[in-house]
Structure 1
């Protein structure tokens, strides 16, 4: 058993106030004590003018696109037109899922991300990269809009989820992602929520992402219907006229944990529903992807105040130039003055871990959590959080108590 202590100008547990001159004690890869000098165990390494905080948690990512050098399409494109580019990219002959996943995991770790919630399309073996990498919550993507396709899609996702190694270490959890209302039959959503309830598995679904999606649900018309019909995928009986995102939220509450990805066009009733079911439903906002598609501003501070649990994600390099959660925090703070630095840090640590259902393992500096720790330069004599969010990233990263970058 290896036991040691990191001491710093500031320790930011996230779930408790910052500690000046704080210590984080680690034993056998996990945190055993957090506090002042009396928390020290074993040899003490004084890191000087830095703030220690938990490794970041990316609540929403598509690692399969991590080999892209720039986003697909053009800024401001309608979502259906961008989806056409995604479909084309997935057909590229030179596409290599294992290479892309490895690149995305390495990029994430350099940016201080130690846990990634990935919408998984690759087989589980693609995630077995050599060397240190972030922990994973794998949300295996399901696509099956027609009634005929939904049964095979369900069987395939369950097979992948149950074959992925949920070892509580490298892979914290394995669940499913019914992709979106325009690609998943509502009964497939229900099948997956029932399975998730039985398996205690997390779910994630893109919902209320674009006006075109809202039109498809309400009237069965528009650009998404045209896209589906062009591929012989549209089933007019799947979505009754007058359907709303609320209908999908109600289905998702059957799962123990469900992430509502984007939610850009949820109405007040749906927002209230999220708040009322915050024990199991979370909204994931991806600030720079939101800006790439030129969506109207999301009232983050108001929604958080109403009780909606909101985490941040990067989405993917198909709609974002990189996988840097620091830049997502900085974008939120620039666009939403009512959001405080402490709120932004929570949305990429403790709140994101809660959303994914792994807050007992990561997302905070607290006893029992993995010793996934970041050091960020900080000589502030008062509040370290301003310096943390303004940083370009961590100066050092520990993963399970092991220093992996310096």
Structure 2
């Protein structure tokens, strides 16, 4: 039946990043939000009173979550050496059950940090879907389309299209799974593959996930032939449909204008970009051009965690550092990047905010923390600053996805964490051995 959740503070993550005092979130029997606002609105159903802060589940706009099994490997190498010398040889040993184990572990990690949705690009996407449906999280999934020895990119495109045609673009309870085409990158695929991916995705209204201009030297040939990767993607037709560009570090003014013209989303991954020394993405310029931007962790082997709250802080700090402007990105704006911004970057209007009609994916943070030592009755700006800059993910206590509680007092309501950890540990030991 319809339910109400109340809290001293509710953050709907509307464009103004409003702070609702003594607020309520009403959830219909279909798992969607029916009301978010002051608790003075009448309600006749059951009410759950929570003591802290309610806000939307965070949206991780770019991840390779099963790489929890590879965490800590080759951590001091630049991107291309890290991939070729460490990651790809290790991934060649992966079995389907390993991917499921790694995805289960990472899904629990994200839920415990208040991340309810992740956009995933990894092998054995069917196993990832099973893992996500088991933990109760939400994901946008795509098996990577790559041109490597032993891999047939044509068959990968066909397989993605076949799965969407069989199960639909979104499926599962509360439409927890969305399928996508995950073209790895312009440097890992010939232009024909990019064109055929665009042609397969467009009639299905499917999202295309792709790495774009992450490292300065990854796309020298593409830039020589087409001017830039975004220009190549435009020629291939990818910019005409739904697309999210991961990283997007090395963009020109013209590239940003192309993304803005076509409504391309960007997954900004400041932690991974810094660890791999890929560079500073032009976040303030992207936002000024009205390019939809969300935040991503990237894989847990290149970050090395799945805590999007850290990306919120890093995005704001790097934006200020790179522009030498302490007002370049406020804490409130950074929080919006991780919620409604991530949804917009993925082309979704049904997650990322507590608004009527969106899925009831929301998080309860306990305010019993040094970050809130002065309580919640501080001015709105100070409250948001304490949340973003001081509290982060450590006070996440409860999480709901499509109205179903999947985390209670910090523990999964659906799976045994120790069993999940044991399975992942066994897979990781085999891969590394």
TM bracket, shorter-chain basis = 0.7 to 0.9
Structure 2 residue aligned with 1:191, among 196, 202, 210? 196
Given candidates 238, 241, 244, the residue that maps to 1:256 is: 241
Give the distance between the partners of 1:164 and 1:242, measured in 2 at CA: 37
- Mark the CA change 1:152 to 1:45 in structure 2 (over 3 Å): closer, same or farther: closer
Q: From 325, 343, 354, give the equivalent of 2:344.
A: 354
Per the alignment, residue 167 of structure 1 pairs with 171
Contact kept, 8 Å, 1:353 with 1:363, in 2: the verdict is: yes
Matches of 1:158 and 1:18 in 2, distance apart?
42
Kept in 2: contact 1:64–1:122 (CA 8 A) = no
CA shift at 1:274, angstroms? 1.4
Correspondent of 1:309 among 284, 289, 292: 292
Name the CA shift for 1:162/1:380 in 2 (closer, same or farther; >3 Å).
farther
Give the distance between the partners of 1:40 and 1:62, measured in 2 at CA: 43
Q: 1:375 to 1:150 in 2, by over 3 A?
A: closer
Secondary structure at the residue paired with 1:128? helix
Question: Match for 1:105 among 97, 104, 107?
Answer: 107
Give 3-state SS (helix, strand or coil) of 1:259's partner: strand
| Counterpart-to-counterpart distance in 2, 1:218 and 1:141 | 22
| 1:149 Cα offset (Å) | 4.5
Relative to structure 1, the CA distance from residue 110 to residue 303 in structure 2 (aligned partners, 3 Å threshold; closer, same or farther) is same
Which string of whole-angstrom CA distances, capped at 9 and with x for unpartnered residues, describes residues 45-87 of structure 1? Answer: 3323x221101111111122122332x3233x33221111121
Distance 2:171 2:216 in 1: 40
What residue in structure 2 maps to residue 283 of structure 1?
266
Contact 2:194–2:233 at 8 Å: present in 1 too? no
> Which of 242-251 and 185-194 deviates more?
242-251
| Partner in structure 2 of residue 388 of structure 1 | 387
Higher deviation after alignment, 303-312 or 293-302: 293-302
- Tell me what 1:272 maps to: 257
Say if 2:287 is the partner of 1:298: no
- Residues 351-399 of structure 1 show CA distances to partners (whole Å, capped at 9, x for unaligned) of 111222222x211101112211112226142213223213231222122
Equivalent residue number for residue 26 of structure 2: 25
Deviation digits for residues 308-342 of structure 1, max 9, x if unmatched?
22110011112012100011111122222311112
Separation in 2 of the partners of 1:405 and 1:399? 12
Cα-Cα RMSD: 2.3
Distance 2:171 2:33 in 1: 19
Q: What's the offset of the Cα at 1:14?
A: 0.8
Tell me which moved more, 346-355 or 380-389: 380-389
- For 1:40 and 1:140, the matched residues in 2 are separated by 46
What corresponds to 1:178 in structure 2?
A: 183
Q: Do the aligned partners of 2:247 and 2:281 also contact (CA within 8 Å) in 1?
A: no
Residue 12 (structure 1) aligned with residue 14 (structure 2): no
Aligned residues: 377
Deviation per CA, 1:102-138, whole angstroms, max 9, x where unpaired? Answer: 1111111111111111113114144313743311111
Give 1:370's aligned residue.
Answer: 359
| Structure 1 position 141 matched with structure 2 position 144 | yes
Report Cα offsets for 1:244-287 as digits up to 9, x if no partner. Answer: 21323313545531001111111111011112222xx0111111
Say whether the 8 Å CA contact 1:161–1:176 is kept in structure 2: no
- In 2 relative to 1, CA 268–382 (structure 1 residues): closer, same or farther, beyond 3 Å? same
Ranges in structure 1 where 5+ consecutive residues have no aligned partner: 220-240
1:132 maps onto 2:121 in alignment: no
Q: Is the 8 A contact 2:222 2:232 kept in 1?
A: no
In 2, Cα distance between equivalents of 1:74 and 1:182: 22
Query: What is residue 430 of structure 2 aligned with on the other side?
Result: none
Structure in which a larger fraction of residues adopt helix: 2
- Aligned-partner SS, 2:143: strand
Deviating more after overlay: 181-190 vs 245-254: 245-254
1:345 is aligned to: 335
Q: Which runs of 5+ in 2 are unaligned?
A: 321-327, 410-433
Whether 1:37 and 2:39 are equivalent positions in the alignment is yes
